[in-house]
Structure 1
Amino acid sequence: MSIMAQETAAPAMRGSEIRRHELAAFLRSRRERIAPEQVGLERGVRRRTPGLRREEVAQLSAVGVTWYTWLEQARNIQVSVQVVDALARTLMLDASERAHLFQLAGATDPTPAASCSGVTEAQRELLRQLEPVPACIQNSRYDILAYNRTYARLLGDLDAVPPEDRNCMLLVYTDSDWRAAIVHLEDTQRLMAARLRASMAGHLGEPAWKMLLKRLETESPEFRENWERYEVVGSRTKIKEFLNPYVGHLTLEHTDLWLNPGPGARMVTYTPKNEETRRRLEKLYEIARAS
């Protein structure tokens, strides 16, 4: 390399090195502020490290201890978006901290919470006009991009779920409120895994899809079992039964209304199948409006 080329490359190299050291310091600072009890670990009598140990962060994030140690030592190693996402969740980062972590790691956060979802104001108004019918807009990855007030209370309290976790697949497999509200849970989980496999065929290798799959496989034994069946099911209208925590049993007809020519974003609606469900939806809507 010529002297001129070296001088040109030097600032970039120094910038990259500075960013690695900033990343290492940021990870240490966030690791040290989390008490073991916050993540379900026992403190023990010999703990000297404030917060979590490196090996605990590595284990909770499903990464190698040596690899994570190198990361905190500011070594020049590659970091995937799946790993950055896992670290953000393990370290309980808020939205600003999560964005900062991705920036320091030189990665782009592919979750809808980190970017514009593409939902128009007209579509949001349509969601409002459908109330008390629960409705939302999802993409082909099952991220919930927008929803009305009735949908927010359909299976618990969706507003309380962090935006990056508002994904139907994740919620069906890992969220206790959603799992408790679904009457035929095992059948629903198996069907949704088959639908995800069908949708994923057109997105193999995309970071956001790989990140979702990695998280599901890490956090849910039920998903791993269903995923290994290699079943494939397309979209279809179907009857859903929920045990809503606010108004009780609901029998609803699920319909997908596609917003584009291809199988991408869609509006999902849940219309009542009987008069009792209709009355209960109206009551749920009043509860949602008052909250």
Structure 2
Amino acid sequence: MDEHNALGRFLRDLRARRDPASYGFASSRRRTPGLRREEVAQRAHISPAWYTWLEQGRGGPPSADVLDRIAKGLLLTEPEREHLFVLGLGHPPPAQYRAPEGVSPRLQRMIDAMDFSPAILRTATWEVLAWNRAASVVLTDYSRLPPDGRNLLRLIFSNPDIRAKQVDWRAMASGVVAAFRADAARAGASAEVTRLVEDLSALSPDFAEMWADASLLPHGDGAKRLNHPVLGLIELEYSSFAVDGRPDLGLIVYNPVDEAVAERIRALVKGLAG
């Protein structure tokens, strides 16, 4: 079957699995389960005939606007919405930024299990939402900061202690700005990014200069050198990961590049934990 029939099958399946009462429609006197075609069309603000053609694979490919209306009308989850766009247009939908919602206990337990590898969970606008003990010891004790003071860019450009830890602050900061630009563009967080950039540009001439450079850099992996007040000079390698089911989050894990540094980190973490 062609792509449009695959879209039609998916739409019919979505419609059949919906509870009419949850969408404001009477659930009695129905010959088949789920919503009727005209009810989906009503919620999506499109004509019943056009919606029927979509299910039947007629009338050509739908527009992104029509698919977005259907996704909103059916209250689709993000994976359902993405699959709808892939079937209808051959590519995922544009990113839709969501304000941070915190992290689940499962995610927190996952990073806590990394006893001696600093790990953080950050949003698309680089707000740190969760961290483990090793991150508090090696990077920054985020628990001592107010929730609105945990943005990584704000810390890099306004916190003198964090700046003093960096072996080459300018190179690190420039790379972070370039990676942030790429992340924010993918997330579709234009309004939030605009406010943050305006604040940081007023706060730091260094940031204003680096942002004006307009460089882009993927934040996949790399190395980080720190002058730690207790551990001394240490080098870490980091890797970034997407969090399945949470497109608003990214995971960054740091690991020491040699066993000697790893032992120093373990001793410090264990000592503070005791």
TM-score, scaled relative to structure 1: 0.56
| Counterpart residue number, 2:150 | 166
- 1:135, 1:267 within 8 Å by CA — same for their partners in 2? yes
What residue is the counterpart of 2:127 in the other structure? 143
Provide, for residues 253-290 of structure 1, a one-character-per-residue CA deviation record: whole Å limited to 9, x for no partner.
10112113786412111111101110111123124425
Query: Given that residues 240 and 251 in structure 1 are in contact (C-alpha distance below 8 angstroms), is that contact kept between their aligned partners in structure 2?
Result: yes
1:212 aligns with 2:212: no
**Range with bigger deviation, 152-161 or 180-189:** 152-161
Partner of 1:258: 242
8 Å contact kept, 1:174–1:220: yes
Q: 1:157 aligned to 133, 141, 163, which one? A: 141
Report SS of the residue matched to 1:195.
helix
Change (3 A) 1:288 1:207: farther
The aligned residue for residue 122 of structure 1 is: 106
Provide the rounded CA distance (Å) in 2 between the counterparts of 1:202 and 1:176. Answer: 30
Q: Between the two proteins, what is the percent identity of the paired residues?
A: 23
Determine if contact 1:195/1:232 at 8 Å carries over to the other structure. yes
CA deviations over 1:88-140 (Å, ceiling 9, x no partner): xxxxxxxxxxxxxxxxxxxxxx975xxx32x1111101111101111111122
> C-alpha separation between the residues in 2 aligned to 1:217 and 1:156?
23
Q: Distance in 2 between matches of 1:284 and 1:217?
A: 37
Q: Residues 66-85 of structure 1: matches in 2 within 5 Å?
A: none
1:191 aligns with 2:175: yes
Indicate conservation of the 8 Å contact 1:136/1:268, yes or no. yes
Q: Contact 2:226–2:233 at 8 Å: present in 1 too?
A: yes
CA change 1:287–1:220 in 2 (3 A) is farther
Partner of 1:235: 219
Answer yes or no: is the 8 Å Cα contact 1:134–1:271 preserved in 2. Answer: yes
Bigger Rg over Cα:
2
CA distance change for structure 1 residues 226 and 236 in 2, over 3 Å: closer, same or farther?
same
1: CA distance, partners of 2:145 / 2:271:
18
Aligned to 2:253: 269
SS at match of 2:138: coil
Q: Secondary structure at the match of 1:253?
A: strand
Cα distance in 1 for partners of 2:188, 2:240 equals 23
In structure 1, the gaps of 5 or more residues are 1-109
Which runs of structure 2 are paired with 1:46-85 in the superposition (5 Å)?
Answer: none
Displacement of 1:160 in angstroms is 1.7
1:175 aligned onto 2:165: no
Structure 2 equivalent of residue 249 of structure 1:
233
SS at match of 2:237: strand
Flag the 1:263–1:204 CA change in 2: closer, same or farther, 3 A. Answer: closer
Deviations 1:35-75 (A, max 9, x none): xxxxxxxxxxxxxxxxxxxxxxxxxxxxxxxxxxxxxxxxx
Cα distance in 2 for partners of 1:284, 1:242 equals 15
